[in-house]
Structure 1
Amino acid sequence: MDAVEQIKEQISSNTILLYMKGSPNAAQDTSSAMAAQTVMACGEKFTHVDILQHPGIRAALPGYANCSDIPQLWVAGELIGGPDTVREMYETGELPPLIKEAVAKAKK
């Protein structure tokens, strides 16, 4: 499976998906750490992909998503955005209900 197919599979198989550098508990940059902490603060489980461990995904993701930011948050198959968008949506109160609604729909 090529990198784009892997990306498509990961996005379609995971309600909340964070592409990041490192892992939520061991992020490799401040943007990834902030994004992971923000998603964790929403109170739902999520999947992450460490792009440092997957160079093909790291190379293909910006073109696939039409977004060069890393980290990238995907919810219910839709790109939410990079670290600034994630932080802003959390601060305005938009992100937690978006995530909770997506998780609730996925459980049905």
Structure 2
Amino acid sequence: MTDDTQARIQALVDSNNVLLFMKGSPLFPQCGFSSRAVAILNHLGAEFESVDVLQDQGIRQGIKEFSDWPTIPQLYVKGEFVGGSDIMMEMFESGELGELLAEKGAAA
């Protein structure tokens, strides 16, 4: 991965309170895991931005190295890597994700 890709990813993470790297867009998710991640965030009333990794091969590969996490989607809250859709689901069910978003001022 190039330093340029790394810098682009860092800039995206830094400039968005809640950022979801996903396949597709929130309106048209391109995989079940991305769809589930969007549904969780919407249910929690989170205001979030998304990056469609299918549109940029550099970011698609780079984000896996950036977070040291092998799968997409990936959720970042206030610059911190939270996890993928399984972790999001567990945190959602336990109430932890809603608390995290509220604590960081990122949920309605």
TM-score (norm 1): 0.91
Where do residues 92-103 of structure 1 align in structure 2 (5 Å cutoff)? Answer: 92-103=94-105
Show structure 2 runs of 5+ residues with no match.
Answer: none
The letter for the 1-side match of 2:11 is E
Residue 55 of structure 1: how far off its partner (Å): 1.1
Q: Which residue of 2 aligns with 1:5?
A: 7
Residue 4 of structure 1: how far off its partner (Å): 0.7
- How many residue pairs match? The answer is 104
The answer to whether structure 1 residue 74 and structure 2 residue 76 are counterparts is: yes
Alpha-carbon separation, structure 1, partners of 2:62 and 2:101: 25
From 76, 84, 93, give the equivalent of 2:86: 84
Show structure 1 runs of 5+ residues with no match.
Answer: none
TM-score (norm 2): 0.91
1:69–1:83 CA contact under 8 A, matched in 2: no
Q: Any runs of at least 4 consecutive aligned residues in structure 1 with deviations exceeding 4 A, and if so which?
A: none
1:44–1:99 CA contact under 8 A, matched in 2: yes
